[in-house]
Amino acid sequence: MIIKCKDVFELLSELYDDELEENYEDLIQQHINECENCLALLHTFERTLDLFHSLQPIKLEQKRKQEFHRWLKVEIKRIVIKRY
Ligand SMILES: [Zn+2]
């Protein structure tokens, strides 16, 4: 199975939350290790989320969290695509 940048992007929030199957996570991690773009993408995503959580320590409900991650991915996509 070949992982593409698009796959990594789609799975950012699952990756961040450790919700991926182990085999799949390995494949994604392997791609990220070899792909500068995805590494930058993941760092931006993690940094933004960490910042958000430190500003707002209250745990979001699952549903709100998913909405927030979805929104964040769209925003990050916009930033990263400009850079490509
Ligand atoms: Zn990539």
pLDDT tens sequence across 21-80: 999 999 999 999 999 989 988 888 888 888 887 877 666 677 887 888 888 888 877 776
Which is more confidently placed, 21 or 1? 21
60 phi, psi to nearest 5 deg: -80, 150
> So what's the pLDDT on residue 81?
60
Question: How many A from CA of 69 to the centre of ligand 1?
Answer: 19
In which domain, by residue range, is 68 found?
A: 5-83
Query: Which pTM was predicted?
Result: 0.70
Answer whether 47's CB lies under 8 Å from 80's CB.
Answer: no
Structural domain tally of the chain? Answer: 1
> So what's the pLDDT on residue 64?
81
Question: How many A from CA of 4 to the centre of ligand 1?
Answer: 6
> So what's the pLDDT on residue 25?
92
At 54, is the secondary structure helix, strand, or coil?
helix
Q: How far apart are CA 25 and CA 82, in angstroms?
A: 27
Q: How far apart are CA 76 and CA 74, in angstroms?
A: 6
Rg, C-alpha atoms of the chain? 13
> So what's the pLDDT on residue 39?
92
